[in-house]
Amino acid sequence: MAEKYFAELEGMWQQNRDSGLQEYFDFEPGPFPRPKALRGSDLVRELVRLAVLTKDTRFRDAFFALVEHGIIDRKFNFLPWKPQHLRRGRLRLELSMWANIYNLKSRYRLPLRRVCAELAARTGWPGTSFAAAVKDLELLYRRWHFDLPKNMTPAALAAVVEKACSIDFPTTELEKSCCTSIPTTAAN
């Protein structure tokens, strides 16, 4: 019985997998892809070294820009970078899916695997296979850990998701520290 149900869900997933969700997961950087041979750690260490040696704020500002935009990690390695609007869209989508999984699990007391299979099928969640899409949703649910009341209403849950999506990383410290001036041609 259960295998027939999952086979039907897999068929639904096959039909829905070309949905608009794919744009949040696949991003082509346009006509200027990042070279594969460029090592982030070497570039960033050189920027830091030049900032210290030359006392030129442009090198320091370049380093801060890489950090602020999430292009490098703490070890100065390049991260898989996507524009901010796509990162926020994906975050909003993941939190929304988490909220849907939580809502279905708590309201109808369904097992996690079944809820994830249902949502993967109905949304066309990206994956190499239906089983991979279901597993990805299971991992997504376990990755986000919120302590919410068991009988939370959908409206309250939506408000929590919206609040979590609206949180922006504080960048004012980096913005204040950037003091690169733009040269002008006007004589003062």
Q: Are 144 and 101 in contact (CB under 8 A)?
A: no
Terminal-residue alpha carbon distance, the chain: 82
* pLDDT in the model for residue 170: 44
Long-range contacts of 109-116 (CB under 8 A, 24+ apart): 112/138, 112/141, 113/138, 116/141
Residue 60: per-residue pLDDT: 93
Q: CA geometry: angle at 89 spanning 85 and 74, to 5°?
A: 70
Residue 132 has a pLDDT of 95
Tokens of 78: 């390049």
Euclidean distance between CA atoms 10 and 14, whole angstroms? 6
- pTM over 0.75, yes/no: no
Q: From CA 45, how far away is CA 133, in angstroms rounded? A: 39
- Averaged pLDDT in 10-residue chunks for the chain of 188 residues: 83 79 58 61 86 91 89 85 79 87 88 94 93 95 77 70 61 48 51
Tell me the DSSP string of 17-71. TTSGGGGGT----TTSPPPTT--HHHHHHHHHHHHHHH--HHHHHHHHHHHHTT-
d(CA 44, CA 53): 14
Q: Please name the residue that has the structure tokens 């990755």.
A: 143
Domain spans of the chain, in order of start: 2-26+83-166, 40-77
Mean pLDDT of the chain, nearest integer: 78
* 88-129 residue pLDDT tens: 888 888 888 988 898 888 888 899 999 999 999 999 999 999
Q: What angle, rounded to 10 degrees, do the helices at 112-123 and 84-108 form?
A: 130
pLDDT reported for residue 29: 55
Contact (CB, 8 A) for 80 and 86: no
pLDDT of residue 28: 56
Query: In this predicted structure, what is the pLDDT of residue 4?
Result: 84
Q: Are 160 and 148 in contact (CB under 8 A)?
A: yes
pLDDT of residue 150: 67
Name the residue among 98, 90, 95 with its Cα closest to residue 141: 98
